[in-house]
């Protein structure tokens, strides 16, 4: 009998705790989720929102991706905490570095996916994670990147130029009511990358509350075009229920107006 897939639903998959080791000597904690009984056809390397404001490997869109996409879309989902970030999985060594030393974290995740023979590797960045993807993710081992709510806070013109030169696919999902960068301004800024695709999502906000399913559909369209979308909303088979109570105070990344090391926050109406 089919059951409705809810926010806490965990569909079948092979899930294992992993550790990443950075070139500057840190140990990062993470998880790899793969289809239960077959090889994945694509891989998502998740780069989470700002850890100083609640972002982590379990931020809700990534948690749902790991719990659903191995079964629904034959995708592997690699999540990890960047340096100094904590979740139920544990705390990664090191300290937040304002998108500077996090380059080692991104490299370690890509290297892990490559050595594990995970195919068709795509970066999936969200907010701060989009800056990490743009600054440090244009790697020969990566097929492309999908950016959720890109603020373009730490990324610089040279980073966009590198993606433009690479020709690699770059997809930006931009909420209509984003706090930092809205669709019209995003299209203007990403015009520096000719192959970039900017998709405005009506009614959505920066944290994608209530819109995770839209995000997952668009991700699957790019990484596994053979999978049917929209993704199923029911499941006929074994299904577990996850416990998200540990995140009652930060179910999603909480972007409070607090100082953060790095360049001043740019908003959609800010000048270049």
The stretch 224-235 carries a mean pLDDT of: 97
Read off the pLDDT of residues 195-219 as tens digits, 9 standing for 90 and up. Answer: 999 999 999 999 999 999 999 999 9
pLDDT at 124 over 70: yes
> Which domains does the chain show, CATH number per domain?
3-247 (3.40.50.1820)
User: Are 73 and 227 a contacting pair, CB within 8 Å?
Assistant: yes
Q: How many helices (H) and strands (E) does the chain have?
A: 6, 14
Q: How far apart are CA 180 and CA 178, in angstroms?
A: 6
Confidence of residue 262 (pLDDT cuts 50, 70, 90): very low
Q: How far apart are CA 242 and CA 201, in angstroms?
A: 28
Q: How far apart are CA 223 and CA 122, in angstroms?
A: 7
Lowest-pLDDT choice from 149-153, 160-164, 249-253: 249-253
Task: Please state whether the predicted TM-score (pTM) of the whole model is above 0.85.
Answer: yes
Which one-letter DSSP state was computed for residue 245? G
Model pLDDT, residue 223: 98
Model pLDDT, residue 260: 42
Read off the pLDDT of residues 63-78 as tens digits, 9 standing for 90 and up. Answer: 999 999 999 999 999 9
Strand order of the β-sheet with 27-34 is 14-21, 27-34, 75-80, 42-47, 121-126, 144-148, 170-175, 196-201
pLDDT at 264 over 60: no
Model pLDDT, residue 250: 55
pLDDT at 192 over 90: yes
């Amino acid at each position: 009998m089919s059951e409705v897939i809810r926010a806490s639903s965990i569909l079948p998959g092979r899930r294992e705790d992993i550790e990443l080791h950075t070139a500057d000597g840190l140990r990062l904690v993470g998880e790899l989720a793969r289809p239960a009984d077959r090889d994945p056809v694509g891989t998502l390397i998740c780069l989470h929102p700002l850890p100083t404001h609640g972002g982590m490997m379990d931020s809700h869109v990534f948690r749902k991706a790991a719990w659903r996409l191995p079964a629904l879309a034959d995708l592997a989902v690699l999540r990890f905490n960047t340096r100094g970030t904590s979740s139920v999985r544990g705390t990664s060594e090191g300290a937040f570095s304002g998108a500077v030393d996090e380059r080692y974290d991104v490299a370690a995740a890509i290297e892990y996916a490559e050595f594990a023979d995970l195919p068709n590797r795509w970066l999936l960045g969200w907010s701060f994670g989009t800056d990490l993807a743009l600054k440090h993710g244009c790697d020969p081992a990566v097929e492309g990147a999908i950016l959720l709510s890109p603020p373009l806070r730490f990324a610089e013109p040279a980073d966009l130029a590198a993606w433009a030169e690479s020709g690699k696919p770059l997809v930006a999902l931009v909420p209509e009511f984003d706090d930092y960068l809205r669709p019209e301004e995003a299209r203007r800024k990403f015009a520096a990358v000719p192959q970039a695709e900017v998709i405005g999502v009506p009614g959505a906000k920066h944290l994608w509350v209530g819109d995770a399913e839209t995000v997952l559909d668009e991700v699957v369209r790019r990484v596994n075009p053979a999978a049917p979308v929209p993704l199923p909303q029911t499941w006929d088979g074994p299904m577990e229920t996850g416990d998200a109570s540990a995140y009652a105070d930060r179910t999603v990344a909480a972007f409070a107006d607090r100082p953060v090391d790095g360049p001043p926050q740019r908003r959609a109406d800010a000048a270049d």
